[in-house]
């Protein structure tokens, strides 16, 4: 068990990629905090992990609310005594041309995809620094590396998370804390598949653009996260790993 005795917070982990990450970390021995703003789904995911022999604790967390994030982190520290791993996974987007988007949408995209991870990261850092140990992995996106039509502000946020992570990596490496990004390409989450069902003409061109000719599976993203949180990646920090079937090679 590569993560035995470690405590990991995974934001937005009640479903989709976050759920796959929570399940994989738990399968490797970590106690996983299923942090999500949808309480019922967080409880259901935690129960599913426990039924598979893992350890999971559901915690309500709206990552855009700094007061709620701090309270959730305090709750985790009371229950578990420490936080070893943070996976900033929670995200949201509305796909549309930039000229058709509104400032209200921009604010929501920025709050969830950029400011939220910054808030959660700051909330866990004091404990990691005091323990002289930490693994922080943020889910970026290849949209933040090469751009993506219909996702201009989202792409900007993900590019910002990459730059934030590289800078933070320099600041906290002295405390044995590593900071890295996993950058997925198009992934077959329930939300993406539902979008593709309503926009069927987009699926085949998208698959054709990917050298492997298919979408990623959530568990393939989870495998990359597991690597960055493991001891095997202890000498790696400030890096971005694309999991995109070869869609981006940069």
From residue 128, how far is each of 100, 172, 242, 243 by CA, in Å?
Answer: 42, 10, 26, 27
Residues listed for the chain:
250
pLDDT of residue 149: 87
Domain residue spans of the chain: 7-187+218-243
| CA 140 – CA 81 distance, rounded (Å) | 28
Q: Give the bridge partners for 59, in sequence order.
A: 35
| CA 178 – CA 235 distance, rounded (Å) | 8
pLDDT tens-digit profile of 131-186? Answer: 999 999 999 999 999 988 899 999 999 999 999 999 999 999 999 999 999 999 88
pLDDT of residue 216: 83
Catalytic annotation present for 154? yes
pLDDT of residue 59: 98
Element at 16 (helix H, strand E) = helix 16-27
Q: Which CATH number fits domain 7-187+218-243: 3.40.50.300, 3.10.580.10, 2.40.30.10, 3.40.50.720?
A: 3.40.50.720
pLDDT tens-digit profile of 33-65? Answer: 999 999 999 999 999 999 999 999 999 999 999
Tokens standing for residue 182 = 């996993």
pLDDT of residue 197: 72
pTM (2 d.p.): 0.94
Residue in 133, 154, 175, 235 annotated catalytic: 154
| CA 148 – CA 201 distance, rounded (Å) | 17
Nearest in space to 54 (alpha carbons), one of 112, 124, 7: 7
């Amino acid at each position: 068990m590569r993560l035995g005795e470690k405590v990991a917070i995974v934001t937005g982990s009640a479903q989709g990629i976050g759920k796959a990450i929570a399940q994989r970390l738990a399968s490797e021995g970590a106690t996983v905090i299923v942090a999500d703003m949808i309480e019922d789904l967080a409880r259901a995911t935690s129960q599913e992990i426990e039924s598979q022999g893992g350890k999971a604790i559901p915690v309500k967390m709206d990552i855009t609310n700094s007061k709620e994030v701090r309270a959730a982190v305090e709750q985790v520290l009371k229950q578990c005594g420490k936080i070893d791993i943070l996976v900033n996974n929670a995200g949201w987007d509305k796909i549309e041309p930039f000229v058709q988007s509104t400032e209200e949408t921009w604010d929501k995209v920025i709050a969830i995809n950029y400011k939220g991870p910054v808030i959660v990261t700051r909330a866990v850092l004091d404990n990691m620094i005091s323990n002289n140990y930490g693994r922080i992995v943020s889910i970026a996106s290849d949209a933040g590396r090469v751009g993506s039509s219909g996702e201009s502000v989202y792409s900007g946020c993900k590019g910002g998370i990459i730059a934030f992570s590289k800078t933070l990596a320099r600041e906290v490496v002295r405390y044995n804390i590593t900071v890295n990004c996993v950058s997925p390409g198009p992934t077959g989450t329930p939300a993406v598949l539902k979008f593709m069902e309503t926009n069927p003409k987009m699926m085949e061109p998208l698959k054709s653009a990917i050298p492997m000719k298919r979408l990623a599976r959530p568990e393939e993203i989870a495998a990359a996260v597991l690597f960055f949180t493991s001891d095997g990646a202890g000498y790696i920090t400030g890096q971005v790993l694309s999991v995109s079937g070869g869609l981006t090679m940069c």
